[in-house]
Amino acid sequence: MEPGNVTQISEFLLQGLWKEPKQQPFIFGLFISMYLITVFGNLLIILAVSPDSHLHTPMYFFLSNLSFVDIGFTSTTIPKTLMNIQTENKIITYKGCITQMYFFMLFAGLDDFLLTVMAYDRFVAICYPLHYTVIMKPWLCGLLVLVSWMISALNSLLQSLMVLWLSFCTELEIPHFFCEIKQVVQLACSDTFLNDMVMYFAAGMLGGVSLTGILYSYSKIVSSIRGISSSQGKYKAFSTCASHLSVVSLFYCTVLGVYLSSAGTHSSHSGAVASVMYTVVTPMLNPFIYSLRNKDIKRALRRITWPIFLGLKKCS
């Protein structure tokens, strides 16, 4: 891979989801609604967990970290998309594109790792309940999150730096609503073999290891639940990991669905539309999944929102 003169590259053009002007107000309204729900929903989870001493457990520590990552994940792409629709300007600067690419891969990797760590937490809680507090010590929980950040940051940094070495042609239109690394690399004029190899290797290793860890954890969890004699005990054990299993299924099914559908149709536009599922919809639904089935979270949320409701009632 020969280094290219990237100083001539100043901007890219994001084609977005639909080109018809009549559809832009609808897309803007839909995106800003989903973004606000995502931010406020995940922020409420963090605010509910932080002050409540009863929720200072490994499970809720990982959940609050996942909520923070989901806010960062959507904030990487959606505000720029909204600004482009509002200003009717699809341009993103070269530096802005590389920065967006870096943070998108960072938060996507963190989503992967945190879901794996949370699966391990549920595995220990169900398979080794008597040793749970001994194994899942605060320092181990902090270390798992720190390692997740380090690996994800190094991966996104490596791939972003490799893009900086590419030289680009005059065709700089990205058929997406954000700077997705695969789409950007395809625009390069120089040899992208090494970039492609690193991309696929990272996706296979990081995504594959995470998914394998989750599947292994749940295989052991299912075996332990089957060994419980009472139906009430089985239900109680399953309910502790039902929310996490729902989030994992939603995340991986949407990601796999996006890439399989785009590969089958060979359409970049269809892939961009489908990617809304895991970049916007999944982070938006996570707070609802965790709060609707969790009595502790609902109690903590009522403790936060009830004073606000009373204040608004007095003002009215």
Distance CA 141, CA 132 (A): 12
The span from the CA of 204 to the CA of 302, in Å, is: 42
Q: Which tokens sit at 2?
A: 């020969």
What CATH code is assigned to 10-315? Answer: 1.20.1070.10
Radius of gyration of the CA atoms of the chain, in A: 22
Please, are residues 105 and 77 in contact by the beta-carbon 8 Å criterion? no
pTM as predicted:
0.89
Kindly list the domain boundaries of the chain, sorted by start residue.
Answer: 10-315
pLDDT along the chain (316 residues), means of 10: 51 81 84 94 91 87 95 95 88 93 95 94 92 94 96 96 87 86 89 91 88 93 87 80 86 75 56 79 88 78 68 59
Strands 173-174 and 11-14: parallel
Task: Please count the other Cβ atoms lying within 10 Å of the Cβ belonging to residue 74.
Answer: 24
CA distance 129 to 116: 19
